[in-house]
Structure 1
Amino acid sequence: MTGALLRALLGGALLSASLVASAAQPVAGTEPPRTLRYAFPKAETGFDPAQISDIYSRIVTAHIFETPLAYDHLARPYKLRPSTAREMPEISEDFRSFTFRLRPGIYFADDPAFKGQRRELVAQDYVYSIKRIYDPKLKSPAQSSLEDEGIIGLRELREAALKGGKPFDYDREVEGIRALDRYTLQVRLRESRPRHLITWAGRDLYGAVAREVVEAYGEQIMEHPVGTGPFMLKEWRRSSRMVLERNPGFRDEVYDAEPNADDAEGQALLARLRGRRLPMVDRVEVSVIEEAQPRWLAFLNEEQDLLERLPEEFAGQAIPGGKLAPNLRKRGVQQLSVLGSDITLTVFNMDDPLVGGYTPERVALRRAMVLGNDQQREIRLARRDQAIPAQAINTPGTSGFRAELRTESSEYSPARAKALLDLYGYVDRDGDGWRELPDGKPLLLMLNTQSDQQSRQLDELWKKNMDALGLRATLKTAQWPENLKAARAGNFMIWRVGSSAAGPDGQSALERAYGPSVGKGNLARIRLPAFDAIYERLKLMPDGPERQAGFDEANKLLVAYAPYRFGVHRIYTDLAFPWLVGYRRPPVWLDWWQYVDIDPALQAKSAQ
């Protein structure tokens, strides 16, 4: 890939001119609901912000719940703006105190838990919602990330529940997060956090939930998300189908944004849609179609309006040579390609007695597996050139990422890999063609995987790479949510997974190796004091060259100890029919449904 193409992809280029096609204005009572239809390639797990970590569940919660701030939909790079807050918050000079003033008259969606009364959003709802993440009973995956923000008193509140064996005390006031009055929320931190505001735009995890709803549904709260956002969950068939509808009580919000002056696409979208009431669609239907071919065919048959993330195995049919195929162009299909703010990772369980550990021979085994992995072959064959090699754990579009960086992580050298294995005693002692452990015991690698077509292709390449090194390997297949659960519990040896940025700060990627996040974001379960010290230092630094140097230092440790093999950053190509108006892939946030429209005239014309 040329440097010019990489720069274009990072900027979100290669966008179809038909993206900004005219949006027909609806005429009340004369047309069916405007429905957005598309599919997730993996199953969701549930919709309680405090209990989820997978991106598919979080996409749904990001459209149901709200935080005081939100991302400007069209601004590149990111820009924060008020959401449930009246204005941007008051911030102390030392970045340790933040005061939000909420807009009166924002209401939760109607729900039986409210017993027929309209329930207004108040500052105490955010206090309660953040406290829930600290409740040990919920084992919230977001707790370690939130702990990094250092809200005063929450750690002690959690420890009191853990030590005393008593229920978590939601009514105990803490200094760090308080409702000063009905609409004023104050947050105080132990240390300076220059980027703390990003937390308050994370509506997928930190959006306001109502205490009455949580208490009404108890253990079933994952099935009953009730927020103040633009959509409500109307139907859920687990791992199959989700239907959301416009929240009829959603406040009067209109399409507005601040794209850069030189952002032609953003400026055109703003000119076309400014002033439209949000959300513009009435209904969103999300299917779960894990196999690539049915998902591709569903789009071709116009059962879906959007093919979000073209399956890489169909890139040759859909975008040969990187350009939209003539048959799709004739149908008015839009091609939208951008380098995703994500990374694929092969996770090594550092607690595993075979591949884990910090001794030289264990490090050598992991590094040999990294060196013996043909990354370019993976990109060419399994990913159809729709990816670039990852050199570090930071993702494009976030702080800490350096496009020019080159590390051993992307090097393919079977000779070096074999030499490492030989040097540290991983040799074939019995002549069966397979290496044993240094103590002579059998060596059998086990990769947790899924049954979809792309996973099978990647598995085949991985197995061939390990075979070539003389490392015997086997596969353990399960559903993706089951593999995630096993990884969080530490019940695995090796797993391959993708990770997408949910915010613009690269520190969240480093949480993948932060010791206190073991069992949460730290899937590899690595505990490295030198890395943790860098992580803690980075939290306090303002953005700039010194902080970038810290990111580089942290990534050098990860390359050296190899708790992960950095895979690729994927090039996302979304395909959309011409009646989907206003779609623009968000770079690091998850909500966008309210900013698109379905043009019924164009849709009807296609059906004729």
Structure 2
Amino acid sequence: MKTAWATLLLCLGLLGAAPVMVAAAEPVKTLRYIFPAAETGFDPATARDLYSAHVTQAIFETLYTYDYLARPAKLVPQAAAALPEVSADGKTYTIRLRRGILFTPDAAFKGRPRELTMADFVYSWKRLLDPKLGAPHAWLFEGKVIGFDKLALDAQKTGRFDYDAKVEGFDVLDPYTLRIHLTRTDFNLGMILAHDPTSALAREVVAAYGDVKGEVASNPVGTGYYTLGEWVRGSRIVLERNPHHRVETWDFKGNGTPDDERIIAQMKGKRIGQIGRVDISVMTEDQSRWLSFQSGGTDLFWLDGPLAPKALLNGKLRPELAAKGVQLSRQMDPEVTYYYWNMQDPLLGGMSREKIALRRAIAIAHNIDEEIAIVWNGQAEQVDFPIPPGVVGHDPAYKSLLQYDPALANRLLDRFGYKKGKDGWRTLPDGKPLVIRYVSRNEASGVLQAEVWRKTYLSIGIRMVNDRMIFSDLLKAEQLCKVQSRNYQWMADYPDGDNFMQLYYGPNVNQNNAGCFADPQYDAMYAKTQKLPAGPERDVLYHQMARRIEVTAASRMGYARYRNMLAQPKVMGYKKHPILKQEWQYIDLGG
């Protein structure tokens, strides 16, 4: 096949009969990756699962992101030209945008190049507060920006969100400059603006592809490193490198560790975005995923706890895999798995003494160490504090009031009227049957979790029914407060304790407050923390808030898991980042 240039010369009669030598096109570098659960959709405003976020982070861009190698995580510009200029009182942010960033070409733009502007970010943030869309990320801006909440309240009254209405707190000085005026001091806004839901989405795209709510789940058009090439729901996702993305050079410094120096030697000076295609398969079965990696069918692999013994020995790569050149990137994730009991549920919810006693008894009857051993093969560490290791505000010395004690749990149930019948099962204080529904995901780890919890409930004489749900359906039910109890995992969106303490804030019910916990005392303390920078004064409040969660027995903290990522020998430059969902643009594939 002739090049376009050679074809043009032929048309002009400038080439003779001599054959035209055309260089063969370079093969596309394809990274093969696996999701252990299905995605839900690719609208950054509505996606709330980890797997969809992998994709939205690749297709869309936020104003800020994180340095690939810096540890602890370090905020850096992405679409922004520089870090924000912040006033001394932390209430005014001035942000400047890189010029010349283009959305990928799409029919929504009617054949014209479409440049990214600050108005696109403001529009995208307004979507988060549109009641019709029902985004689960409204908490990122609620109560923070002058005049923004009024826009949402007006929409609730009129049934129409006015996207053209001016918000006093969003002052667009020119297409590339935005000044944000906050209602209160907030030194974490830069990290908020690095979180995927704040990505820029063009208004024309929503008009062209939005559903009745205005959600664009299947036609993502962004400015990021990749575009959506192919999508078979719940089965396969193919991303293609965005040829229109600006040129950036790999130049990260690292922390001077041997691992960082090796990565720098492999990658320094290359153009960012060496991977031309990312081919993602959805495989829910542990053994299928492992066989795919073993056979070379997967290049980068998340080694979940159930599979850990196949590749790890005492936390290190097995010698036979290391001899083959397999690579391990291991870290404790900045996450916490906790257990909640739905506070709006008629059986488990409420603040009466007998309801608190029931939740507390269940909490202390559960053997967390046993769950870590059985479900995750020891690939986790128990945590007592709501803020996990690696996140600002974590306290490694904190000790929870809720400790494993099944004997005490049984005495507590006896005392508050949950009597055992002749069949050995407890009843409610009014004599009615006591049956609790524990919901788990339908993959292997969910089955194991259910069995561990069945043993817990059996130890205190309570019948348990296990409902297994597809992950996407579980998330929807949970957002509506329809899940009675389950294990809930939260991984840091940004590395500050606020990201975890907001999980129990009353106004975040139907967003990230999965246990639907609404407590005036907790909410008042949380509101105070919003006015404080990270430091001792805020930490005191965090301790009080943690105690309040325990006293009400709204939930019990569980554990933080280790992330074990395996890479084939040909993968170059890979290191798992603590905050970024994926690192595809920063790595390469060798021969």
* Among candidates 277, 285, 289, match of residue 295 of structure 1: 289
RMSD: 1.5
Distance 1:322 1:72 in 2: 26
Residue 234 (structure 1) aligned with residue 234 (structure 2): no
**What residue number does 1:424 align with?**
416
2:309 alignment partner in structure 1: 316
Q: What displacement does 1:505 show?
A: 1.1
Give the SS at the match of 1:358.
Answer: coil
Instruction: Quote the residue 2:264 is aligned against.
Output: 270
Q: What 5-or-longer segments of structure 2 have no aligned partner? A: 1-22
In the aligned structure 1, how far is the partner of 2:369 from the partner of 2:43? 39
Distance in 2 (alpha carbons) for counterparts of 1:454 and 1:55 = 16
Match of 2:589 in 1: 598
Alignment gaps of 5+ in structure 1: 1-27, 602-608
Q: Is the 8 A contact 2:267 2:587 kept in 1?
A: no
Other-structure match for 1:171: 164
Letter aligned with residue 161 of structure 2 = F
Residue aligning to 1:546: 537
Q: Find out whether 1:56 has 2:51 as its counterpart.
A: yes
> 1:435-462 deviations in whole A, cap 9, x for unaligned?
1111111100001122211211111111
Partners of 2:386 and 2:589 in 1: CA distance: 37
Q: What secondary structure does 1:594 align onto?
A: helix
Is contact 1:448-1:477 (8 Å) kept?
Answer: yes
Which residue, out of 556, 567, 588, partners 1:576?
A: 567
Amino acid at match of 1:292: D
Whether the aligned pair in 2 keeps the contact of 1:512 and 1:523 (CA below 8 Å) is yes
- 1:85 and 1:103 in contact (8 A); partners too: yes
Identify which range, 346-355 or 267-276, moves more after superposition: 267-276
Structure 2 residue 151 is the aligned partner of structure 1 residue 157: yes
Residues in 1 aligned to 2:89 and 2:444: alpha-carbon distance in whole angstroms: 51
1:584 to partner: Cα distance:
1.0
Please say if residues 440 and 449 of structure 2, whose CA atoms lie closer than 8 Å, have aligned partners that are also in contact.
no
Q: Please state how far the C-alpha of 1:591 moved relative to its aligned partner.
A: 4.0
Tell which structure's C-alpha radius of gyration is larger: 2
Show the counterpart of 1:131.
126
Q: How far apart are residue 151 of structure 1 and its match?
A: 1.0
Task: Report the residue type matching 1:585 in the other structure.
Answer: K
Report the alpha carbon displacement of residue 590 of structure 1 after superposing the two structures with TM: 2.2
Please give the per-residue CA displacement for 1:144-172, whole angstroms capped at 9, x wherever unaligned. Answer: 23215x0111100011111122x211011
Q: For the residues of structure 1 that align with 2:422 and 2:383, how far apart are their CA atoms?
A: 36
Instruction: Say which SS state the counterpart of residue 32 (structure 1) adopts.
Output: coil
C-alpha displacement of 1:589? 2.5
Do the aligned partners of 1:145 and 1:508 also contact (CA within 8 Å) in 2? no
Are 2:349 and 1:337 equivalent residues in the alignment?
no
Corresponding residue for 2:319? 326
Q: Which amino acid aligns with 1:128?
A: Y
Give the deviation of 1:279 after TM superposition.
Answer: 0.7
CA distance in 2, matches of 1:284, 1:194: 36
2:151 maps to amino acid = L
What is the Cα deviation at residue 280 of structure 1?
Answer: 1.2
| Aligned-partner Cα distance in 2 for 1:101–1:320 | 49
Q: Give 1:404 shift.
A: 2.8
SS of the residue corresponding to residue 187 of structure 1 reads strand
Q: TM-score normalized by structure 2?
A: 0.93
The match for 2:64 is 69
Name the stretch that deviates more: 361-370 or 74-83. Answer: 74-83
Letter in 1 for 2:395: R
Equivalent position SS for 2:254: coil
Distance (Å, rounded) in 1 between the aligned partners of 2:45 and 2:407: 47
Q: Does 1:359 align with 2:330?
A: no
Amino acid at match of 1:355: L
What displacement does 1:30 show? Answer: 5.4
CA distance in 2, matches of 1:403, 1:275: 40
Q: Give me the whole-angstrom Cα distance separating, in 1, the residues matched to 2:415 and 2:579.
A: 43
Q: Is the CA contact 2:140–2:192 (under 8 Å) kept in the aligned structure 1? A: no
Q: Is the 8 A contact 1:145 1:511 kept in 2?
A: no
Partner of 1:604: none
Which of 517, 524, 532 is the aligned partner of 1:533? 524
Whole-Å separation in 1 of the counterparts to 2:80 and 2:33: 31
Contact 2:393 2:534 in 1 (8 A): no
Counterpart secondary structure, 2:457 = helix
- Which residue identity lines up with residue 566 of structure 1 in the other structure? M
Deviation at 1:422, TM superposition (A): 0.9
C-alpha displacement of 1:29: 4.3
Of 482, 486, 490, 1:491 maps to 482
With normalisation by structure 1, the TM-score equals 0.91
- Judging by fraction of residues, say which structure has more helix: 1
Contact 1:400 1:552 in 2 (8 A): no
Structure 1 counterpart of 2:552: 561
Aligned-residue sequence identity (percent) comes to: 40
SS in structure 2 of the partner of residue 279 of structure 1: coil
2:383 match? 390
**1:105-120 correspondence to structure 2 within 5 Å:** 105-120=100-115
Mapping 1:440-519, distance limit 5 Å:
440-519=431-510
Contact 2:305 2:379 in 1 (8 A): yes
